[in-house]
């Protein structure tokens, strides 16, 4: 078995339902950008320097108590399918999955922490946790950052802070984000107003897989855009305040749908169930969108109690292209994936009945 397949049979940490508001705030992520002093930024590295940095980071990972037991994957050992699989689990970025050249990633067995080597910066350290846990997630990343800095000399300016290949990451190098599920704001056509308000606050709203992706399944990643001029606590506090406001708006939209559009609202959810239980072929984008409505139906207690949000969260993952192919144990073309996806959904949703 491919070593990377150890993750296949466990739920991703970021999709484990946990804590207050976890029906809306699916997960919290903290990411740090770091570069090693004495080396050019990634775009200017030659092959020998890439190898040197990969080796240096591997040594630092082995010396970190918080990263004990972490897997360290070098990209020349990974297939394109492996990289897509890690992307679907949010353990690497889309850029890290697709770009050529020597790269590596360290991943803790519980998938809370991943460390991308030679993404846009030499190191992109991130922690993902389920629910609205920004401060707790920051503490994990901060401790690992301190441990890595005992072994690695990071590029730092007393005036500017940590240096990065991208000016928006100079300073703390910190990006904080929450993955939010906002189906009611989408259904009531209020989500654009919320996104416009976020932009005015210098916050970014991106799709399921980050920068440059669309918000399929009513999932939105909301994050800070600038790291210079604020310390870590200020960045996190500011984002937390905004996330609480978005949660309140989503709750109000859900209440409106129940009070004013109950019949039509529930009809949309049950039509989603009917489609997924009868389809013989279905694309991942359509399936994700329909599962989003079922996720909302669970919150409204429309389904049996033994069918949970975590069941749906796992399906969000298993229907993605690389996960499907890993489950089937073979490479599938687009049509065969659509057939396999429909088969899986019919099987998993068989218990949902009126």
Q: What is the 3-state secondary structure (H, E, C) of the chain?
A: CCHHHHHCCCCCHHHCCCCCCCCCEEEEEEEEEECECCCCCHHHCCHHHHHHHHHHHHHHHHCCHHHCCCEEEEHHHCCHHHHHHHHHCCCCCHHHHHCCCCCEEEECCCCCEEEEECCCCCEEEEEEEECCCHHHHHHHHHHHHHHHHHHCCECEECCCEECCCCHHHCECCEEEEEEEECHHHHHCCCHHHHHHHHHHCCEEEEECCECCCCCHHHEEEEEECCCCCCCHHHHHHHHHHHHHHHHHHHHHHHHHHHHHCHHHHHHHHHHHHHHHHHCCCCCHHHHHHHHHHHHHHHHCCCCCCCCCHHHHHHHHHHCCHHHHHHHHCCCCCHHHHHHHHHHHHHHHCCCCCC
**Token digits for 160?**
């500017």
Contact assessment for residue 182 and residue 21, using Cβ atoms and an 8 Å cutoff: no
**Pairing status of strand 174-181 against strand 113-117:** unpaired
Contacts of 121 (CB under 8 A, 6+ apart): 33, 34, 35, 41, 42, 164, 165, 166, 169, 173
pTM to 2 decimal places: 0.91
Q: Dihedrals φ, ψ of 291, to 5°?
A: -65, -30
Contact assessment for residue 235 and residue 224, using Cβ atoms and an 8 Å cutoff: yes
pLDDT at 206: 83
Give the whole-angstrom CA distance, residue 318 versus residue 316: 6
CA atoms within 13 A on the CB side of 62: 7
Q: Tell me which residue has tokens 């997960």.
A: 27
pLDDT at 214: 56
pLDDT tens, residue order, the chain (354 aa)? 578 888 987 778 777 777 778 889 999 999 999 999 999 999 999 999 999 999 999 999 999 999 999 999 999 889 999 999 999 999 999 999 988 888 999 999 999 999 999 999 999 999 999 999 999 999 999 999 999 999 999 999 999 999 999 888 899 999 999 999 999 999 999 999 998 999 888 888 887 655 544 567 799 999 988 777 788 999 999 999 999 999 999 999 999 998 998 899 899 999 999 999 999 999 999 999 999 999 999 888 888 877 888 888 889 999 999 999 999 999 999 999 999 999 999 999 987 775
Contact assessment for residue 235 and residue 246, using Cβ atoms and an 8 Å cutoff: no
pLDDT at 215: 63
Domain locations in the chain?
A: 3-254, 262-348
| Closest alpha carbon to 176 in 115, 106, 123, 225 | 225
Q: Which CATH architecture has domain 3-254?
A: 2-Layer Sandwich (3.30)
Contact assessment for residue 127 and residue 82, using Cβ atoms and an 8 Å cutoff: no
Contacts of 48 (CB under 8 A, 6+ apart): none
| Closest alpha carbon to 13 in 34, 27, 30 | 27
CA 187 to mean position of chain CA atoms: 23
């Amino acid at each position: 078995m491919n070593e990377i397949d150890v993750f296949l049979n466990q739920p991703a940490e970021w999709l484990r339902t946990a804590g207050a508001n976890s029906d809306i705030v699916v997960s919290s992520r903290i990411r740090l950008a770091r570069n090693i002093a004495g080396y050019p930024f990634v775009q200017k590295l030659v092959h020998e320097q890439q190898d040197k940095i990969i080796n240096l980071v591997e040594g630092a990972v082995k010396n970190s108590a918080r990263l004990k037991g972490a897997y360290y994957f070098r990209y020349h050992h990974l297939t394109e399918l492996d990289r897509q699989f890690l992307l679907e689990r949010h353990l690497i970025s889309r850029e890290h999955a697709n770009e050529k050249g020597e790269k590596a990633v360290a991943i803790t067995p519980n998938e809370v922490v991943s460390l991308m080597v030679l993404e846009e910066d030499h190191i992109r350290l991130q922690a993902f946790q389920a629910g609205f846990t920004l401060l707790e997630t920051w503490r994990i990343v901060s401790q690992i950052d301190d441990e890595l800095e005992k072994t690695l000399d990071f590029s730092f300016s007393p005036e500017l802070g940590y240096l990065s290949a991208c000016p928006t990451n100079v300073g703390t190098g910190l990006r904080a984000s929450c993955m939010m599920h906002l189906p009611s704001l989408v259904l009531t056509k209020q989500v654009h107003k919320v996104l416009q308000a976020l932009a005015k606050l210098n916050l970014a709203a991106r799709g399921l897989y980050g920068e440059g992706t669309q918000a399929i399944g009513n999932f939105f990643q909301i994050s800070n855009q600038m790291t210079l001029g604020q310390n870590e606590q200020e960045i996190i506090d500011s984002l937390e305040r905004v996330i609480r406001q978005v949660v309140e708006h989503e709750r109000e939209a859900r209440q409106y749908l129940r009070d004013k559009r109950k019949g039509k609202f529930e009809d949309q959810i049950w039509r989603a169930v009917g489609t997924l239980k009868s389809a013989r072929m279905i694309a991942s984008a359509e399936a994700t969108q329909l599962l989003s409505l079922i996720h909302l139906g669970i919150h409204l207690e429309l389904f049996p109690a033994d069918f949970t949000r975590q069941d749906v969260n796992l399906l969000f993952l298993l229907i993605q292209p690389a996960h499907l192919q890993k489950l089937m144990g073979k490479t599938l073309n687009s049509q065969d994936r659509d057939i396999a996806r429909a088969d899986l959904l019919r099987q998993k949703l068989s218990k949902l009945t009126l």
